[in-house]
């Protein structure tokens, strides 16, 4: 990128900020409002697809770990491809052809899954842009697939009526290839600095907000890249990974938010920024928690991002997949606590989506086609639910808890309807909901009607002081959670 292009882009950014309703201050950004489409949508698809899908070993951090001496990825790389001085990560790019990438087929699958928004990775930590960029030559339109992957997907997703977003993981690139600087590798070759650089030493604690701060040149480049994405594709979500929490990013985060929100006003679109930990100030963007949940209702809308796989976000040959039921239960739990689920898949390097991942999405879609009214457009009730299974607050906890039981129930509301979703079919043929007992501390009003969604048999039920007890013996047992539609008297 020439200095002239850089100056023009920076001037545009500053002009948009100066003329729009949002200034690059936390006080001004507190005027941000979360989109209704987001609070109503509840379920989205995340897509980790890039050059790392070619080696398909370990996980999507292969490009970093192949330069970290002593790691399985390092040993695998040398054994399979030769020394990193002769075959580096860049040499996978011509092998990343995406020859079977069919964006319409992808959009068809996402629509059938019941997702309401789609968020592909536009640039991961490896620095390879999956779109046509003026900032760097290292992009999918210029090499590898030689296609504007993000642009093609954006067009078909919107045709299906789904909301299009994208993610940017550029921040971590500051140190991502640092291992390659410690021995004879192509990372040290000045011809490829534009791709691998800066390759500065990583912080000892990757969660530190102070260690290894990026310099002004890198921060400006980061800002230009994300603003270019905003201008080219008008995404309604921009998702960031964790390292933007480094304090050096703070003024640039404010500047980006002001630019993005002002551009959204020009487009007349509702948009959102996703952030982790304390990167953005509460109330200026949408909080996202990786592979984790909350134990109770969060007053401000939030999101979980997790994957269909327990051991990788990108495509690998040895996935440890979650069961569809596990994901559906998590979706219900998250929605009951005022959240949304962004579920990741990892396509193969040729652009095909692995069959197990297709089937997982189809199973979720089949469930949502019947039970979606208990998810879409709902809001939390007075209490998220009841039952013995405890969900731990925090990231990286979604595979550590016990399986949900037939006593675990989650609530959502819409108008005069209360939904009670039982997370496992009760073998007894009876459901007892303590939160709806006449003496419940939640002050449930009069109950007019109780129905089981997907079962046409009229239900017998009674309400004692201790619980609402429902007899479902006449309904066919279900493999996945079941939702009760309960009409209540609003006072």
Question: Is there a single domain that holds both residue 306 and residue 442?
Answer: no
Residue 291 lies in a domain: yes
Number of domains in the chain: 2
Residue 5: what pLDDT? 85
Question: Is there a single domain that holds both residue 263 and residue 351?
Answer: yes
Question: Is there a single domain that holds both residue 287 and residue 396?
Answer: no
Residue 491: what pLDDT? 52
Q: Are strands 43-47 and 166-168 parallel, antiparallel or unpaired?
A: unpaired
Tokens for 74? 């390092």
Question: Is there a single domain that holds both residue 353 and residue 440?
Answer: no
- In SS3 terms, 183-212 reads as CCCHHHCHHHHHHHCCCCCCCCCCCCCCCC
CATH of the domain at 412: 2.60.40.1180
Residue 190 lies in a domain: yes
Residue 364 lies in a domain: yes
Question: Is there a single domain that holds both residue 112 and residue 157?
Answer: yes
* Residue 401: band (very low, low, confident or very high) from pLDDT cuts 50, 70, 90: confident
- For CA atoms 10, 14, 20, 23, give the dihedral sign: positive
Residue 469: what pLDDT? 97
Q: Residue 491's CB: how many other CB atoms inside 10 A?
A: 6
Q: Given 374, 401, 416, which residue is the final one in a domain? A: 374
Q: Which residues pair with 343 in a beta bridge?
A: 45, 306
The answer to whether 347 and 361 have CB atoms below 8 angstroms apart is: no
Residue 357: what pLDDT? 98
Q: What separation in angstroms does the CA of 78 have from each of 86, 181, 188, 343?
A: 10, 16, 17, 33
DSSP 52: G
CA neighbor of 196 nearest in space, from 105, 127, 282: 127
pLDDT tens readout for residues 169-186? 999 999 999 999 999 999
At 129 the three-state DSSP class reads strand
Question: Is there a single domain that holds both residue 335 and residue 463?
Answer: no
Tokens for 476? 């066919």
CATH of the domain at 39: 3.20.20.80
Q: Given 351, 374, 397, which residue is the final one in a domain? A: 374
Question: Is there a single domain that holds both residue 237 and residue 368?
Answer: yes
pLDDT tens readout for residues 234-286? 999 999 999 999 999 999 999 999 999 999 999 999 999 999 999 999 999 99
pLDDT tens readout for residues 355-383? 999 999 999 999 999 999 999 999 999 99
Question: Is there a single domain that holds both residue 52 and residue 77?
Answer: yes
Question: Is there a single domain that holds both residue 149 and residue 90?
Answer: yes
At 141 the three-state DSSP class reads coil
Residue 380 lies in a domain: no
Q: Where are the alpha helices (DSSP H) in 127-249?
A: 149-159, 173-176, 193-196, 216-233
Residue 276 lies in a domain: yes
pLDDT tens readout for residues 186-198? 999 999 999 999 9
**How many residues are listed for the chain in this entry?**
491
Question: Is there a single domain that holds both residue 54 and residue 35?
Answer: yes
Q: For the whole model, what pTM was predicted? A: 0.97
pLDDT tens readout for residues 344-356? 999 999 999 999 9
* Residue 453: band (very low, low, confident or very high) from pLDDT cuts 50, 70, 90: very high
Question: Is there a single domain that holds both residue 82 and residue 10?
Answer: yes
Residue 186 lies in a domain: yes
Question: Is there a single domain that holds both residue 330 and residue 410?
Answer: no
Q: Residue 97's CB: how many other CB atoms inside 10 A?
A: 16
DSSP for 391-456?
PPBBSS-TTTSPPP-TT-EEEEEETTEEEEEESS--TTSEEEEGGGSTT-TT----EEEEEETT--
- For CA atoms 299, 391, 111, 165, give the dihedral sign: positive
Residue 490: what pLDDT? 56
What is the residue range of 389's domain? Answer: 385-488
Please give the Cα distance from 375 to 369 (Å, whole number).
11
CA 163 from centre of chain: 13
* Residue 343: band (very low, low, confident or very high) from pLDDT cuts 50, 70, 90: very high
Residue 379 lies in a domain: no
Q: Which residues pair with 167 in a beta bridge?
A: 121, 239
Please give the Cα distance from 463 to 459 (Å, whole number).
13
Residue 10 lies in a domain: yes
Q: Given 318, 351, 374, which residue is the final one in a domain? A: 374
């Amino acid at each position: 990128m020439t200095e002239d292009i850089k100056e023009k882009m920076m001037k545009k950014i500053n002009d948009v900020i100066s003329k729009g309703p949002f200034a690059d201050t936390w006080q001004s950004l507190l005027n941000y409002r979360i989109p209704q489409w987001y609070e109503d949508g509840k379920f989205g698809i995340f897509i980790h697809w890039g050059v790392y899908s070619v080696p398909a070993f370990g996980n999507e951090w292969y490009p970093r770990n192949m330069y970290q001496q002593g790691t399985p990825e390092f040993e695998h790389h040398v054994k399979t491809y030769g020394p990193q001085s002769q075959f580096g990560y860049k040499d996978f790019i011509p092998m990343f052809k995406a020859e079977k990438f069919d964006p319409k087929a992808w959009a068809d699958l996402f629509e059938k899954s019941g997702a309401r928004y789609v968020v592909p990775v536009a640039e991961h930590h490896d620095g390879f842009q999956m779109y046509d960029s003026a900032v760097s030559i290292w992009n999918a339109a210029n090499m590898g697939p030689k296609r504007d992957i993000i642009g093609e997907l954006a067009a078909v997703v919107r045709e299906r009526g789904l909301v299009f977003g994208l993610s940017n993981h550029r921040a971590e690139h500051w140190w991502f290839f640092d291992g390659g600087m410690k021995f004879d590798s192509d990372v040290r070759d000045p011809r490829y600095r534009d791709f691998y650089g800066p390759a500065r030493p990583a912080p000892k604690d990757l969660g530190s907000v102070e260690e290894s701060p990026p310099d002004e040149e890198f921060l400006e480049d980061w800002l230009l890249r994300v603003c270019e994405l905003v201008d080219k594709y008008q995404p309604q979500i921009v998702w960031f990974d964790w390292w933007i929490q480094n304090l050096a990013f703070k003024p640039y985060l404010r500047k980006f938010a002001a630019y993005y929100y002002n551009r959204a006003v020009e487009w007349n679109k509702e948009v959102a920024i996703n952030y982790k930990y304390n990167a953005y100030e509460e109330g200026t963007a949408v909080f996202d928690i990786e592979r984790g949940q909350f134990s109770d209702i969060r007053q401000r809308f939030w999101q979980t991002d997790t994957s269909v796989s327990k051991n990788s976000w990108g495509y690998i040959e040895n996935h440890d997949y979650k069961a569809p039921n596990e994901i559906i239960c998590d979706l219900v739990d998250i929605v009951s606590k005022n959240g949304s689920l962004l579920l990741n898949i990892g396509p193969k390097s040729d652009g095909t989506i692995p069959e197990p991942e297709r089937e997982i999405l189809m199973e979720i879609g089949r469930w949502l086609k019947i039970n979606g009214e208990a998810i879409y457009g709902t809001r939390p009730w007075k209490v998220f639910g009841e039952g013995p299974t405890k969900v731990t607050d925090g990231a990286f906890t979604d595979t550590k808890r016990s399986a949900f039981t037939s006593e675990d129930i989650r609530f959502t509301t819409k108008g005069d309807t209360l939904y009670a979703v039982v997370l496992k079919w009760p073998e007894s043929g009876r459901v007892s909901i303590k939160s709806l007992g006449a003496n419940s501390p939640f002050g449930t009003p009069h109950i007019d009607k109780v129905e089981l969604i997907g079962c046409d048999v009229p239900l017998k039920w009674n309400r004692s002081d201790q619980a609402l007890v429902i007899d479902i013996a006449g309904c066919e047992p279900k493999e996945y959670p079941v939702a009760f539609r309960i009409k209540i008297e609003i006072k």
